Amino acid sequence: MNPLAEELNRQILTNNPHLHAMLSELGREIFFPKGILSQSAEAKEKAYRFNATLGIALEKGQAMHLGCMYDWLKGLEPNEVFPYAPAAGLPALRTAWQQKLLQENPAMRGKRFGKPMVTSALTHGLSIVGDLFVDPGDPILLPDKFWGNYRLIFEVRKKARIVTYPLFDSSGGFHVEALRRAILAEAARSKKLIVILNFPNNPCGYSISPKEAQAVTRLLVETARQDVRVITVLDDAYFGLTYTDDLLQESLFGFLVNQDDRLLAVKLDGATKEQFVWGFRVGFITYGLGLSGDLDVLVGALEKKTMGAIRGCLSNGPHISQTLVLKSLQSTAFAAQKKEKFEILKARARKVMQVLGNPEFEEVWTPYPFNSGYFMCLQLKNVDAERLRTHLLNQYGVGVIAAGERDVRIAFSCIEEQDIPELFALIHRGVMDLQAGKS
């Protein structure tokens, strides 16, 4: 093993043996090399005469660039766009995002956690979690309604076992008891569990209440205190997009941080959905540890391993996207413009709720509970979801996602409010066609 990896492992083992045991085989082996990048970073601070370490071209003190590209970027300095960004992301952006987290998540205030590190959006953050913490055969606990890409990331790439439990209980709320039973069953087989919680949920668009959040927190903390190492991944991709007042308005992350040395909370979020910049690919990964040991040392070691995972995969994220996200956070217009777009999505969700009250629809489908996010799902009563999907495309020019044998996912986020009644009327017509034997 590389001596740099051995030193990081020693720091983690000394300060929290449970965290060391959570690391995968790759997680123990990974490190951030003291090579060109670290030497360049040192030179950036001290090389006041000439800095001949940079792997870019300079011209008159600015990053060399083509005018035909820069013409589209007026208002930004060349050095805000063209050079490489640090592996962990732009320092100013990391600080700004940390401030945003503290502002929007009261439970995080007064807690000790790592500074957010920039990822190439949420999928990359999940991949980092897989690299650092998941070995073949490790259980990944997910509700039975989950984003399909989890399978590629954890089941296919990392050879983990996906274990599902019902998302909803009989009352239409989050099935805490089913999660408890899944945890108990897997804890009997493994002393390391990876629990992924995604609220608002993709595909169902469901977020938990404060009461449900308290119950989930108690369950995870109690599990850790029974000598089970629990890695809880908070997939907060749709953070903030909650449309009723009775929901938890912050991430579970703040409730789980600094609770127990056997409980690691990993918050994954980003600008993708929160700031409506899907193609920017700017996400963040934030670590929340227990209370024992030197937390600065532990966070520093995890940060270096994360930087190693980033360096060994894509080197670093795009500079221009990070610059634009940072400038948006610094803009005085940001809050008002974000609220304006939120209200549009909220109105669309409310319109869906209203339209689904049509008694004719009750005969052909049951909507899964939804209150947030981009999506909602219908459980079809008498027709196959894939047959309905293709029929709607071919006969009515309507696209939906077949999310299971009987489940259809509808992204109301991309439908204008005034078009929502027609959308559901056409879906209903498609169901009736199939029930009548038409195709």
- Angle (CA) 134-89-154 rounded to 5° is 20
Amino acid making up residue 127: S
Give the pTM: 0.95
Helix, coil or strand: residue 223: helix
The closest of 313, 224, 303 to 12, measured between CA atoms, is 303
Q: Which domains, from first to last, does the chain contain? A: 3-32+87-330 (3.40.640.10), 335-435 (3.90.1150.10)
Query: Is the preceding omega at residue 83 within 30 degrees of 0, hence cis?
Result: no
Average pLDDT (414-422) is: 97
The closest of 108, 254, 248, 232 to 179, measured between CA atoms, is 232
Mean pLDDT, all residues of the chain: 95
Return the number of other C-beta atoms located less than 10 Å from residue 188's C-beta.
Answer: 9
Confidence (pLDDT) at 50: 82
101 pLDDT exceeds 70?
A: yes
**Residue pLDDT, tens place only, 321-350:** 999 999 999 999 999 999 999 999 999 999
The CA distance from 6 to 4, in Å, is 5
**Residue pLDDT, tens place only, 384-410:** 999 999 999 999 999 999 998 999 999
240 pLDDT exceeds 70?
A: yes
33 pLDDT exceeds 70?
A: yes
61 pLDDT exceeds 70?
A: yes
The closest of 197, 360, 363, 338 to 277, measured between CA atoms, is 338
Confidence of residue 210 (pLDDT cuts 50, 70, 90): very high
35 pLDDT exceeds 80?
A: no
Average pLDDT (225-251) is: 97
57 pLDDT exceeds 70?
A: yes
Q: Please identify which residue in the block is written with the tokens 């209203």.
A: 354
Buried residues in 361-392 as b, exposed as e (16+ CB within 10 A): beebbebbbbbbbbbbbbebeebebeebbebb
* Of 314 and 352, the one with more pLDDT: 352
Confidence (pLDDT) at 289: 95
